[in-house]
């Protein structure tokens, strides 16, 4: 009888979030976290991870990684605003993808992002974020290239993935290989794999 009750509970709650987990972040020591923490608490977060960056401290990143390691399938990560998740849009998108690979959704209190929603506008917003992240990456690359041209240093490191390997990555990805597996197999970061298959 107890087993039947457990099975019924699992079926009835399939697809429902197991927990609301908050993440708060500020970028300088003199900023106050209390407003974010209060909003996340009012939103129903049962646990909140937060870090404060000071000088060369990587406390924010450590706390974010702790959150990623902590969340489980079905959880929802709550933020007051999307920019609390990272310093650049590309890093934010990488984190969102990492959470989604664990079947964890991301939602902002300001309503800009909700990856758990089936609403077409929300899906479009997430896709737009990917476009802007790629644009941000292109701008950074252009700036680096311009800097090399000004200084006469046009070399740089040899790419880890040549064109042949990139094609292999794309083929394997389309065949169903995950980004995590590809990053391990080819010895590159997940971010590199994301750029190749984008």
Interatomic CA distance for residues 5 and 8, integer angstroms:
5
pLDDT at 4: 43
Interatomic CA distance for residues 165 and 186, integer angstroms:
9
| Inter-residue contact 87 to 58 (CB < 8 Å) | no
Of 136, 123, 107, residue with least CA distance to 23 = 107
Q: What is the mean pLDDT of each run of 10 residues along the chain (198 residues)?
A: 41 55 78 87 93 62 91 94 80 86 90 76 61 56 63 56 85 84 83 85
pLDDT at 104: 93
pLDDT at 69: 94
Interatomic CA distance for residues 190 and 179, integer angstroms:
6
**Helix ranges (DSSP H) in 30-178:** 34-42, 59-70, 89-101, 120-151, 163-174
All structural domains of the chain: 2-116 (3.40.50.1390), 158-198 (no CATH)
Q: Could you say which of 27, 101, 146, 178 is catalytic?
A: 27
Of 105, 98, 126, residue with least CA distance to 15 = 105
Q: Is 27 a catalytic residue?
A: yes
């Amino acid at each position: 009888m107890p087993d039947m009750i457990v099975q019924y509970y699992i079926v009835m709650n399939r697809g429902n979030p197991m927990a609301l987990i908050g993440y708060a972040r500020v970028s300088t020591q003199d900023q106050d976290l209390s407003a974010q923490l209060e909003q996340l608490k009012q939103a129903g977060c049962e646990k909140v991870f937060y870090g404060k960056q000071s000088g060369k401290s990587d406390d924010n990143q450590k706390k974010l990684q702790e959150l990623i390691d902590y969340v489980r399938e079905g959880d929802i990560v709550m933020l007051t605003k999307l920019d609390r998740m990272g310093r650049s849009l590309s890093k934010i998108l990488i984190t969102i993808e990492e959470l989604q690979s664990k079947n964890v959704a991301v939602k902002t209190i300001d309503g800009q992002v909700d990856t758990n929603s089936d609403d077409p506008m929300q899906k479009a917003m997430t896709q737009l974020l990917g476009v802007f992240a790629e644009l941000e990456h292109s701008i950074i690359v252009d700036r680096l290239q311009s800097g090399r041209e000004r200084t006469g240093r046009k070399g740089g490191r040899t790419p880890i993935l040549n064109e042949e390997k990139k094609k292999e990555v794309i083929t394997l990805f389309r065949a169903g290989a995950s980004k995590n597996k590809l990053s391990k197999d080819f010895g590159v970061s997940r971010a590199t794999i994301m750029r190749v298959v984008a």
